[in-house]
A and B are shown apart, each in its own frame.
Chain A
Amino acid sequence: MSPIRLSDLAFTIQALMEDAFGQKAFWVFAETSDIKNYPDRGYCFLTLVERSGRDTLAKLEACIWRKNYHIIEQFEAATQVAFARNIKLLLLVSVAFNPVYGLRLEILRIDHSYTRGNLEQERQATLDALVRDHPDRVWLENGEYITANQVLPCPPVIQRVALIAAPGSDGLRDFRHELQHTIFGYRFTVDEYLCQVQGQGAERAIVGQLEKISGSGVHYDAVVMVRGGGSQLDFGSFDTYLLGQAVAGYNVPIITGIGHERNVSITDMLCHRSVKTPTKAAAWLIDHNRSFEESCLRLRDRLAAAARDALLSAREHLDIATERLRFVGHNYLRNRHTELTEKAVTIRHLDPSNVLRRGYALLLRHGRVQTKASALTAGDPVAIQLVDGLITATVTDIETNA
């Protein structure tokens, strides 16, 4: 066989490839590796790999041309995942061979639901692992994840705060601004523990700061973790096992405001309290303190009302007792009068002259009152006492009661 030119070989390969693959497209599972993205020019080069443990089973160059470049943006919007290295994708690709650039897969479409499902599976696996490995930090109650950090008692007033944020970030600024401009005039002491809070490896930096806070010897009322101003993607760190276990078991209540509009990260699920944004995190602290002050004000009102009621009731009781005193004294004397009057009436009834006045008469013999007919004999001289005088008479006949 005589030697041929490289280009002849290349064109031959190209022709064979064209025959074999032509306009066919394939759905393939692949993981992204090195990415060179040129948004300005509207194309992207990347490497697709398939791994099995530590082994690489396949590795092919791929590209997204300008006509399909919008699929990157669509993918990010739909999945909230940055189109970056080390993500698992389901891709529609065609195979192309160029004599100069070699074999290259052209990416035509990206399946969003596959990546979403994958992420969800990964998240679930992370949560399962946390519950399994750290039952003292994360456990399930009625299908909800409960953590040691969530059940920590929060001090009624939060004043000393450790803040984890990226240096110079909007999140840091928003949080501080909101905290300083509270209409209630609450003062907070905020110590900054600044570090990278997004992108690869951010979880290690954040956990490092949590350890630093623990080691500071300062008794913080709360740790606030904020992230804002960065991309809406790139929340991967907040879904990691490492940060999840650190947050779940942390011994100071952690409040997050990591600016995730749509999803709730594992860190959000496992921390003491999660709000959407850094501003809301500050507002939460203010509300928390405000509710303490309100409970004080309610107690104050209750105290005032109770004291007022006690005085009113004492006044009422005293008035009743005074009135009663007047009444019983009066009653007592009236009763004595009544008693005396009754006695006098009885006495008066018993007076013989009163009896005579009512028509009765007294029969006297030898000056003594006679009460029995049988004691008298016919012919006895008697005297009859009437109310107005004495009559002298003689007994002529006696008839005793049968």
Chain B
Amino acid sequence: MITYQEAYDQLLILVEEIENEEVPLDELPAKIRRATELVTFCQERLRAVEGEYQEIMEKMPKR
């Protein structure tokens, strides 16, 4: 399974490719679709981690 960091790095590469117009027009939809999938994946993963963090913090001893 892909990690958050891998997904994020791939996303950045895609963004840069598009930004630098290194992508042929015909491939643009596929690239954008992939980038969007990566964003969704990262969002979900981050939300899950934030949830776990909250859970752990609630269990942490107070004194």
Interface residues of A, Cβ cutoff 8 Å to B: 297, 300, 304, 307-308, 311, 314-315, 317-318, 321-322, 324-325, 328-329, 331-333, 335-336
Q: List 29 A-B contacts (CB under 8 A).
A: A297-B63, A300-B60, A307-B53, A311-B53, A314-B4, A314-B46, A314-B49, A315-B46, A318-B8, A318-B39, A318-B42, A318-B43, A318-B46, A321-B11, A321-B12, A321-B15, A322-B39, A324-B15, A325-B15, A325-B35, A325-B39, A328-B15, A329-B18, A329-B32, A331-B19, A332-B18, A332-B21, A333-B28, A336-B25
Chain B residues with Cβ below 8 Å from A328 are 15, 18-19
Alpha-carbon gap, A339 to B3, bound state (A): 39
Interface residues of B in 37-55 (CB under 8 A from A): 39, 42-43, 46, 49-50, 53
Tell me the interface secondary structure of chain A in the complex: helix
Residue of chain A at shortest CB distance from B11: A321
**Smallest CB separation, A287 vs chain B (Å):** 17
Residue of chain B at shortest CB distance from A300: B60
Chain B residues with Cβ below 8 Å from A325 are 11, 14-15, 18, 32, 35-36, 39
CB <8 Å contact, B8 and A321: yes
When A308-B53, A318-B39 are in contact, do A324 and B25 touch as well, CB less than 8 Å?
A: no
Chain A residues with Cβ below 8 Å from B35 are 325
CB <8 Å contact, B46 and A324: no
**Smallest CB separation, A105 vs chain B (Å):** 69
CB <8 Å contact, B28 and A332: yes
CB <8 Å contact, A304 and B57: yes
CB <8 Å contact, A304 and B60: yes
